[in-house]
Amino acid sequence: MNKALVLEQEDKKTLAAVRELTPDELPEGDVLVSIEYSSLNYKDGLAVTGIGKIVHQFPMVPGVDFAGRVAESSNPAYQVGDSVVLTGWSVGERYWGGYAQQMRVKSEWLVPLAEGLTSQQAMVIGTAGLTSMLCVMRLQESGLKPEDGPVLVTGATGGVGSLAVALLAKNGYEVVAVSGKADSHDYLKQLGAKEVLSRAEFEEKARPLDKSRWAGAVDTVGGDVLAKVLSQMHYNGRVAAVGLAGSAMLNTTVMPFILRGVDLLGVDSVMIPYERRVQAWQRIAKELPQEIMTQVVEEVSLEQVPEHAKNIIEGKVRGRVLVNPN
């Protein structure tokens, strides 16, 4: 038995339904994985609701990440029973993904589960957590140090934002969180934020340069919020731009760059090479406090995914949604 959530398109509308997959329907690949957990990311929300045109062909099994055990392998690097994790590589958009009990994939998309993590924890972290660690790595590699000053995280109650708050705090940074959810203050402070600011403050039109407030920032929102953040960076401040939960547009001026030497650092988690993935997962396993993983999570079945997909697009999700296909 191999139950999956399958997306079909009818009259340009995306329809999502749980059904059995037959073995010959599975795509080509050298490793078959029995999936223990997948997760719900913003991109999955776009795919499942059909609001974002990110699915390349139908039928599609969505789910941009998963963790599980190898069930069959023709690559000697992976043995039956090995615990593996997959994120990125356009899985769940171009190739069939994690909302299934079993999936066949290319072994080069997999990484071994980092020591110290269970597959459940790996998907509480998921693409969102991996991406937030990549943001921390980008900021640190660009020279940002805790003593430089406060670091801002926007879209802070989201998957990437929540885990960025926790990881930055764990690395000794003073974290200031920006959230549109008025009731999120206690949650964000428990994750490690020193202060929580209202999103409304960042949606006002940005001046070319505003009061200098932040040494670093992780921006998951884009649009006016990112423009505002850029205008408030310290001299030589660094901003990791990672998301577009608000908008894909960026209407700004060159002033933060040419008068304050601000660095805008792009962060991608989809195509990063194997070695950097392994390095990021190892750091997460060491640095993400265990209690955070239970604080940020809600578990749902395949049948419940469509309703939660709608919620994530509407910005109603707090933390991470874990998908259990079994």
Rounded least distance, CB 155 to ligand NDP, Å: 3
Report the C-alpha gap between 17 and 265 in whole angstroms. 39
H-type helices in the chain, by residue range?
42-49, 119-141, 159-170, 185-191, 200-203, 223-231, 255-260, 274-287, 290-295, 305-313
Rounded least distance, CB 243 to ligand NDP, Å: 2
Q: Is 150 in the site for ligand NDP (CB under 6 A)?
A: no
Rounded least distance, CB 127 to ligand NDP, Å: 5
Q: List the one residue out of 56, 272, 292 whose CA is nearest residue 175.
A: 292
| Nearest CB to ligand NDP, comparing residues 21 and 188 | 188
| Nearest CB to ligand NDP, comparing residues 73 and 154 | 154
Report the C-alpha gap between 326 and 3 in whole angstroms. 8
Q: Is 160 in the site for ligand NDP (CB under 6 A)?
A: yes
C-beta nearest to ligand NDP: residue: 158
Among 68, 150, 161, 325, binds ligand NDP (CB under 6 A): 161
Question: Per the structure block, which two tokens stand in for 231?
Answer: 């205008």
Residues binding ligand NDP: what is the number (CB under 6 A)? 33
Asked if residue 179 lies in contact with residue 198, where contact means CB atoms within 8 angstroms, the answer is yes
User: Which positions from 164 to 183 touch ligand NDP by CB under 6 A, shown as an x/- string?
Assistant: ---------------xxx--
Q: Is 265 in the site for ligand NDP (CB under 6 A)?
A: no
Asked if residue 217 lies in contact with residue 241, where contact means CB atoms within 8 angstroms, the answer is no
Report the C-alpha gap between 233 and 206 in whole angstroms. 12
Among 158, 237, 256, 306, binds ligand NDP (CB under 6 A): 158
Cα radius of gyration rounded to whole Å, the chain:
20
Q: Binders of ligand NDP among 204-243, rule CB under 6 A?
A: 220-221, 225, 242-243
Helix (H, G, I), strand (E, B), or coil: what is residue 225?
helix
Binding residues for ligand NDP (CB under 6 A): 41-43, 127-128, 131, 155-161, 179-181, 184, 199, 220-221, 225, 242-246, 267-270, 312, 315, 317
